Structure 1
Amino acid sequence: MTNSFWREALDHIPGLFLIFRVDEKQHAHLIFANSHIRNVLGYKPEEFVLASESEGSRVQAEVEGLVDQIAEQSKNGNGGEKPVCRFHSKRAAVHDFYFAFRIFTVKSAPHPFIAVSMEPVEGGAPAADTEDSVSGQRHIGFVAESSLMQALMRKVDALADQQVHLLFRGERATGKRTLARQVLQAGILHGARGMEWNLETMPVSEQNRVVDRLCGKNIRADSLPDDDTLVLLVIEIGMLTAANQAKLLGWLRDRQDSGADTRVLATTSFLLEERMQQGEFSADLYYFLSFETLLLPPLSQRRDDLRILAEGWVRAAATVLQLGDMRVPDATMEQLLGHSWTGNFREFQEVMRRSLLSSPSGSFRLMLQEPGPPRSDDRGASSEQALKPADSDQGAHPSGKLPAGVGIGEDLLSGDVVPFDEMNRMYLQKVLRKTGDKIYGEDGAARLLGMKPTTLQSKLKKLGVR
């Protein structure tokens, strides 16, 4: 049977599969990777093999790390634990894998070979699938099981190493920023200088300062040398002021004339074409950049991804909070998949956290927030939104109390409904106790809650949590 037959046959092995050849000096060389390497890490198999021999590359370092672990395991065993290795994808997302190996020989070769199979670690390496993060996802990169996302990822992989400007479009909180940052990080790993402007949270005065620092004619202290390669990420480029659009365009033209490599990655929740028609965005800048556009679909169109994210979120959160084995019932999953998710991942995070708080032990109960009509007995109450269980048609609990057996919420809200800030304060105290007051890190409170550590610290300070 031919080599092509065996290559095709090995591509049908589930998961990642690698083969190493050991030379006469006992050095292991990667000679084969099956096609699953593209689905997970974004590399073509032959591209990954070549990169493993590229001196100083991240792939080479990580492959050598795997070989070192195999050598150690073959000598001393693994102590009964599954060994774990780590690789970065082509877009610089972190992936952790359990691996198993077998050292073997064949009659036609004088030296041994090593076969390695790898499977993703559930809840392993930190990665994100939202504008910042979604606690409890698979943590093996950008979740992309739906056909729409797989098509998008193929396009991203094809464009990742090309010197073209990219525009990530889509509704708010669909993952534009996360994906753009992965491409930015990939550029940095290839030797470029990376820079990010987050205009969504940046006051205009600060926007003026950072643009002047990079593009200003009279400000040299932090200006970029003409021979440096730069990848600039602009979050919400539509919020760039007209004056700063002109400065950026002039600077990009100067860089182009000098032969310097400059790549712009941008995200937008706006239709830039409409902003151009309204005179709010420079047509000259838009056409100068000639963006390759990447459209991120809303969460409601990503059912396959949503299922994985929900299951992973519940599993990871239940583990950190020591709630035991918590599952998502089939009926609840169908309601979750059928929800509109107009707020995309931000809404998903809020609903999942609120639902976990109100779920009975061992079973996840979805709590969707829907507008509730004013009631005659609400007297001083405003028309705030009422909590309605997705698996009930009874509306909010008429007693104003949460039902019995609400898991972690029971000891927090066992009596009448308390003010919202007080509920948040008690909940955060509960989470901090479970994490040993740890905020940072993979097992810290910030990761569990799906927010930046600095954001969590601000909330703790505001609520008076020590």
Structure 2
Amino acid sequence: MSQFSTTFEKTFHALFEQGTVGISITRHDGVYLDMNARFCELVGYAKEELLGKNFRDITHPDDLPQDNRYADQRGVGQIDKFGIEKRYLHKDGHPVWVTVYVSALREVDGRISGVVSVIVDVSERKRAEDELRRLKDQLQAENIYLREEIQEEHHFGEMIGQSKIFRRVLTQLKQVTPTRTTVLILGETGTGKELIARAIHHNSLRKDHPLIRVNCAALPSHLIESELFGHEKGAFTGATAKRFGRFELANGGTIFLDEIGELSLDLQAKLLRVLQDCEFERLGSSRTIRSDVRIIAATNRDLAAAARSGQFRQDLYYRLNVYPLTLPPLRERVEDIPLLVQGFTTLFSKQFNKSITRIPQATMERLQRYSWPGNIRELRNLVERAIITAQDDTLRIDLPETETPKGKRDGTLEEIERDYILRILDKTGWRIQGQSGAADLLGLNPGTLRSRMRKLGIVRPP
């Protein structure tokens, strides 16, 4: 052998062993004949462990069809050089993304004697691409959610009032809004709890991030965990794609848990963990996700009593009850009713292209005498209906039959609510959904109404 050949062989061997990319040599059937140190480092095996193995033994199962397809094409002489992206399985089991540049070595008669592969580690690029894809998916999910939110009508006319009790609420609102503190909004149905939650978010430092609302009563019990925490593809029957949960979508922003008192005890435990540790896992995944979320919860139930009776976890109650904000019922804000009526009249007159300029004093007095079991939501619905049916410039409102002097109502809150819902159900012939159904008249989601009916023991008579 000439001195030149010896020098070339040594140089080639040095490049082979010390290269910054992996290099492997296999037989025509894929069995390893040789490889350099970098390739062994990439896949975590010693050279002695790889010699005699087939490259298919350390290829990710999902990438084998691609490898076999190229091997078949090479075998019939269609291609001798190509590059592919694939995953090797590291000795410890984790996938290693690489780009493999393959060159077939042929004898003079055309037979393949071997294959040389140059392997470049692209794991970092793949991780960056996956993160970019994840952020893109999250942004898309947020956009879908926000589009749904925008399609809903949110009127802020209810934030009107000059009564002493309402001004006290506004003072509390100004105190807690700029903080990160968890807020528990308490109040009867229809008092404007969601409106207050939105006011807190939109005036806080988190206003440029999402406000994500969850109606805990409207979601089926078997779906609410997936809605809150998300799921991986295949986590359960029907999970055909990965889904971001509401806590993940709310990262950096605020999550509003409406009807928090309707959560089951097992889900209360999982929610407690999020409040304590700011972390959770998607269904079907063991990877822990951290989320920076401000919690605003709302309920029309007496959570303190529910916690004492064991219907609501005490530890969760104390976590939520950092800054309780109690909204007064409309019957305790009688002096605000004229302002609210005027605000709703202006709003709906524009919406329905009506010109309502007169509100008779007798009408206003009747409105102030009425007990308002449905609170502001009921008032808003009655004004809207009156304007739709108005034939001239005068607002005429048909109140339900029972009028109760302000501040005087017999029975507990649940009894009053039960009687009122029953009255509306009788009026609609027990039709819950659809236009002019009970849920529509009460201004409730049908799922929320059904949940309240179960809680109050309301069953349609035979």
**TM bin (shorter chain):** 0.3 to 0.5
Q: Whose Rg is larger?
A: 2
Is the helix fraction higher in 1 or 2? 2
TM (norm. structure 1) is 0.46
TM (norm. structure 2) is 0.46
